[in-house]
């Protein structure tokens, strides 16, 4: 059993350079976990991520702000022959959620391992010299983590090297003008970039990584029991379809239009999550609509990773195909909003439906005691997990406009980025 002296549970603190930084992020090497994300706005300190007070609490409060892999979400259990670029392998996802369902990489997914922080970013193998220069200049505080997933781990073929960049970027640009005439100020950004390649020849593996982070933008106000609910949050997801799921939560291979359903958040009169809130909460995969210009691919030939290529700089850009805001979440009282840009084809929105307060702990900044037994009730977080569709290589009809099968072969590189911009709207109720 891990304790606080285990270096994997010792937070690595990233802060924007300032006497009172607008953003500060605590990252745990254990499970590449984002333990706390502090936001300073209008004299108030917020932690916008739910989770346990004690870093070791993530051992039992699984999938709370951790990385997920080798394949996120739910896969059918069994053995599946796969092929890409003439290379053949067999993948055999292992059961954990149910005898027929493999969830988030299997019984011991990427969240269950310690990740190695590289003391020198130049030691990274999957980031180009141009990208390392961008990291140094535009991500003033960042860290690259590494791990190797062995051949056969949880039934996945191939020895896989993964490198993950976690960084904070300074605020950019003038404030936005909101629809009600108020100003919205950018407080900075969180950038996540996942890269991976197979170290074996003649192998192919499914890959689909994500950060399973859960947001509550009002909880730090501690403004009564309602401040824990996300039903007053507003959400925007640029999606025309969700994926139909069977009773086990597995993809049926069918796309369902969101129009006229509770998934059409833009159609809601108030835009609030609580309007037409489903009895069992939300736990759906939304496939993004076609973007004006396609974002950088998730799978590219390793030969294209040339010294001058800078996909990190592209991910930070506010112009071009990487700048599209595909989703956003705004608090009901705090004035905080987070918006997301990504090259991933969709997002899983989960409203913390299965949370059992008696089995978890709640942060003190969210009004909890920090002790197990005083956790978060259902409906108290919006998990926004940006990744590819469930079992994309099995169900080609659900891949959407980008059309990627999420199979990675030897000689290729996996590239996944999410940029989260943090905003504060002036004059918000509860902001003081």
Give the C-alpha separation, 201 to 410, whole Å: 6
The separation between CA 395 and the C-alpha centre of its own chain, rounded to angstroms, equals: 22
Q: How many C-alpha atoms does 337 have within 13 Å on its Cβ side?
A: 21
Q: What is the pLDDT of residue 432?
A: 37
Give the C-alpha separation, 39 to 23, whole Å: 5
Give the C-alpha separation, 89 to 218, whole Å: 47
How far from 19 is each of 16, 177, 219, CA to CA, in Å?
9, 27, 25
* pTM for this prediction: 0.96
pLDDT digits over 28-70, tens only?
A: 999 999 999 999 998 999 999 999 999 999 999 999 999 999 9
Are 261 and 284 a contacting pair, CB within 8 Å? Answer: no
Give the C-alpha separation, 418 to 426, whole Å: 26
How far from 105 is each of 29, 55, 92, 149, 178, CA to CA, in Å?
18, 22, 11, 11, 41
Instruction: Choose the CATH number for 7-425 among 3.40.50.1100, 2.40.110.10, 2.70.98.10, 3.20.190.10.
Output: 2.70.98.10
Give the C-alpha separation, 126 to 161, whole Å: 9
Per-residue pLDDT averaged across 167-182, rounded? 86
- Average confidence score pLDDT of the chain: 94
Per-residue pLDDT averaged across 336-340, rounded? 97
Q: What is the CA radius of gyration of the chain?
A: 20
Secondary structure letter of residue 123 according to DSSP? G
Name the pLDDT band for 429 (thresholds 50, 70, 90): low
Tokens found for residue 399: 């891949």
Give the C-alpha separation, 369 to 365, whole Å: 9
In the three-class reduction of DSSP (H, G, I as helix; E, B as strand; rest coil), residue 393 is classed as coil
Tokens found for residue 24: 């500060």
Phi, psi of 429 (to 5 degrees): -65, 135
Q: What is the pLDDT of residue 46?
A: 97
Give the C-alpha separation, 133 to 72, whole Å: 31
Q: What is the pLDDT of residue 3?
A: 64
- The answer for residues whose C-beta is within 8 angstroms of residue 5's C-beta and 6 or more apart is none
With CA atoms as reference, report the closest residue to 426 among 108, 142, 180, 105. Answer: 180
Q: What is the pLDDT of residue 296?
A: 94
């Amino acid at each position: 059993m891990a304790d606080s002296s285990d270096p994997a549970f010792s937070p690595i603190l990233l802060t924007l350079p300032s006497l009172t930084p607008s953003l500060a992020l605590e990252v745990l090497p254990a499970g590449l976990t984002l333990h706390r994300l502090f936001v300073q706005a209008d004299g108030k300190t917020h932690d916008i991520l739910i989770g346990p007070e004690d870093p070791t609490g993530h051992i039992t409060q699984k999938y709370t702000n951790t990385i997920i892999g080798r394949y996120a979400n739910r896969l059918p259990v069994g053995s599946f022959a796969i092929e890409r670029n003439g290379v053949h392998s067999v993948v055999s996802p292992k059961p954990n959620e149910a005898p027929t369902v493999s969830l988030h990489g299997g019984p011991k997914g990427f969240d269950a391992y310690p990740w190695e922080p590289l003391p020198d970013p130049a030691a990274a193998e999957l980031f180009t010299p141009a990208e390392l220069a961008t990291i140094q200049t535009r991500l003033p505080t960042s860290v690259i983590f590494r791990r190797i997933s062995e051949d056969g781990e949880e039934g996945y073929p191939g020895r896989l090297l993964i490198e993950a960049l976690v960084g904070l970027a300074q605020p950019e640009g003038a404030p936005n003008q909101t629809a009600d005439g108020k100003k919205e100020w950018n407080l900075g950004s969180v950038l996540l970039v996942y890269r991976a390649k197979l170290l074996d020849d003649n192998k192919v593996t499914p890959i689909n990584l994500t950060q399973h982070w859960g947001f509550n933008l009002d909880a730090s106000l501690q403004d009564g029991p309602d401040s824990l609910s996300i039903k007053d949050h507003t959400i925007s997801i640029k999606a025309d379809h969700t994926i139909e799921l069977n009773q086990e939560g597995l993809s049926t291979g069918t796309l369902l239009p969101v129009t006229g359903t509770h998934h059409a958040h833009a159609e809601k009169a108030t835009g609030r999550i609580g309007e037409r809130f489903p009895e069992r909460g939300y736990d759906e995969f939304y496939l993004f609509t076609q973007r004006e210009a396609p974002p950088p691919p998730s799978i590219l030939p390793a030969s294209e990773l040339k010294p001058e290529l800078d996909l990190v700089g592209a991910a930070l850009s506010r112009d071009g195909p990487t700048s599209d805001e595909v989703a956003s979440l705004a608090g009901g009282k705090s004035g905080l909003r987070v918006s997301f840009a990504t090259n991933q084809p969709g997002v899983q929105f989960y409203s913390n439906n299965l949370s059992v307060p008696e089995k978890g702990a709640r942060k003190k900044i969210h009004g909890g005691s920090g002790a197990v037994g005083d956790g978060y009730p259902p409906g108290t977080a919006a998990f926004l997990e940006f990744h590819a569709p469930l079992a994309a290589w099995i169900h080609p009809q659900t891949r959407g406009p980008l059309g990627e099968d999420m199979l990675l072969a030897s000689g290729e590189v996996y590239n996944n980025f999410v940029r989260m911009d943090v905003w504060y709207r002036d004059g918000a109720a509860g902001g003081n």
